[in-house]
Amino acid sequence: MRLINLLRRAALAAVLLWQLAPVHAQDLSPAPDVRSKALLACLTTPGQPPQFSADEIQRENRATVRLSLRFTAPDAEPEVAVVRGDAPEDMVRRLQAFARLYRLPCLPTGEAPVLAVQEFLFDAHGLGPVHWSLTATQDPQVAAHAAALRQCVKRPERIYFLESDPGESINVLVRLVFRSAEAAPDVRLLYSTLPKAGRVDLLAYLKDYRLPCLPAGAEPFEVEQHFKFSGRDAATHFGREFPLRQFLGGVKGAQQLQADFDFNTMDCPFKVAWTLGKPAWDNSVGEIGEHNLNRAAFLDWLRGLELALQPDRFQNLLGSDLVINVPCGRLRLNQPPLKST
């Protein structure tokens, strides 16, 4: 997915008198995919993955296998494809057969598929899995359909403005649920530092949104939108790219972070687009360039990090994007020492 689809850029801006702060209303974004993660909680597996001898784990005494699993029905085997197979062919086949025994019994019949990435890491010294994780990711067909619907949302012609102090920012995150093509959306205020009177006006403004291309009888469609009202002196952008190490140095609780990611298996080096949300709401994370499922677990980890920022600085930067440069190599934080060969 290209950068233009991953970074939520300002969509509305205007130049008025200096005492008025224009609202920067970011493009409509998908609601967080809590559905996939919730459904994966009911996943059933056939037990522990297959075990392999040291002789079978041939490549530098380690083996990495990542599989994509697409669940389409509660009682059917998932569609399994190899994302990365740094392991002997027979080993990969056995792990594919193991993954085909997974089931997702709580997936409602006829609902959108659930896509996940299963990662197996094997170490010849331990003769077993060092780590195996299942990470939910969005099905490309579902994502494309949702993107098309977001482009169809019709917004009021008027632009919403609010007074703001020169060096400060006010932030609002709303969720809109469209249930039919002509009806006003249900609007839920997810986060707001807006005064009460301003909230009433903004919610009335959002009631004028419409989704004319929503088919009759379709499932309700949810989107989110972030509004930022910033004074003329507010520093609202990070302004540059950050090497991964420097970015992690600015994370809250940096010394306690735990991670073990081999970027050499992720088509490194690469760039990640990261949008500040926490602790107000979830961060957004996306790849710059081609989508690569090998990075799913790492991106999910980045999504959960929180920057150490003072409250005023946080409000000014909330919703702003930065770019993280991820090098080749391996990131190990607070992990046991590697055994020598």
**Residue among 128, 138, 132 at smallest CA distance from 37:** 138
Mean pLDDT (the chain, rounded): 80
What pLDDT is stored for residue 232 in this prediction?
64
How far lies 63's CA from each of 130, 136, 168, 237, in Å?
10, 22, 51, 41
Instruction: Please work out, in degrees rounded to the nearest 5, the angle formed at the alpha carbon of residue 39 by the alpha carbons of 32 and 220.
Output: 50
pLDDT digits (tens, 9 = 90+) for 232-280: 666 778 877 899 999 999 999 999 999 999 999 999 999 998 999 999 9
pLDDT digits (tens, 9 = 90+) for 28-70: 666 666 677 788 888 888 877 777 776 666 655 567 889 988 9
Backbone angles phi, psi at 159, to 5 degrees: -115, 140
pLDDT digits (tens, 9 = 90+) for 182-235: 999 999 999 999 888 788 888 999 999 999 999 998 889 999 999 888 776 667
pTM over 0.75: no
Mean pLDDT value across residues 91-110: 90
Instruction: Please work out, in degrees rounded to the nearest 5, the angle formed at the alpha carbon of residue 277 by the alpha carbons of 299 and 3.
Output: 50
